[in-house]
């Protein structure tokens, strides 16, 4: 795996379980047990996913007495958003061309 932060973030986001964990953490902090509940996998398996997310900088783990909450850190997602926004112009231009084409087709249909 490449060592650049964007590649590490994409690798962490590549797994649907990790994306689901991030979506859950967007609602607020949770323990490993709470994060494990919706998945048909062991706590250690979920912990492995959490380590990947932590290495990518997408989550942090706190300590509050006996409670070890996991929390979302969406900072690395900013780089993903900036990268993806570079393609926005491509799609906007494509949709404008499609709109212009459909408008020409409509005018041709009305002309006959």
Inside any domain, residue 95:
no
Is residue 94 in some structural domain? no
Residues 46, 30 contacting (CB under 8 angstroms)? no
Q: Find the range with the poorest average confidence among 40-54, 59-73, 76-90.
A: 59-73
Confidence of residue 56 (pLDDT cuts 50, 70, 90): very high
* % of the chain at pLDDT higher than 90: 66
Residues 6+ apart with CB under 8 A from 33: 43
Q: pLDDT grade, residue 51 (50/70/90)?
A: very high
Q: Between the CA atoms of 85, 76, 50 and 17, what dihedral angle is there, to the nearest 10 degrees?
A: -10
Q: Which two tokens stand for residue 44?
A: 């250690």
For residue 33, what are the domain limits?
Answer: 5-87
| pLDDT mean over 52-65 | 90
Could you tell me if residue 53 is inside a domain? yes
Cα-Cα end-to-end distance for the chain: 59
35 and 70 Cβ atoms separated by less than 8 Å: yes
Number of domains observed in the structure of the chain: 1
Task: Say what the pTM is.
Answer: 0.77
DSSP three-state, residue 71: strand
Task: Kindly state whether residue 19 falls inside one of the protein's structural domains.
Answer: yes
Residue 36 counted as domain residue: yes
Are the C-beta atoms of residues 71 and 29 closer than 8 Å to each other? yes
Instruction: Give the other-Cβ count within 10 Å of 75's Cβ.
Output: 11
CATH number, domain containing residue 39: 1.10.10.10
Residue 35 counted as domain residue: yes
Residue 104 lies in a domain: no
């Amino acid at each position: 795996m490449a060592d650049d932060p964007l590649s590490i973030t994409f690798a962490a986001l590549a797994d649907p379980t990790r994306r689901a964990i991030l979506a859950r953490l967007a609602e607020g902090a949770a323990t490993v047990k709470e994060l494990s509940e919706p998945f048909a996998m062991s706590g250690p398996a979920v912990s492995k996913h959490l380590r990947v997310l932590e290495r990518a900088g997408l989550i942090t783990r706190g300590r509050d007495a006996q409670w070890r909450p996991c929390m979302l850190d969406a900072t690395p997602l900013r780089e993903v958003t900036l990268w993806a926004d570079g393609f926005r112009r491509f799609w906007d231009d494509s949709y404008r061309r499609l709109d212009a084409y459909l408008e020409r087709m409509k005018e041709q249909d009305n002309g006959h």
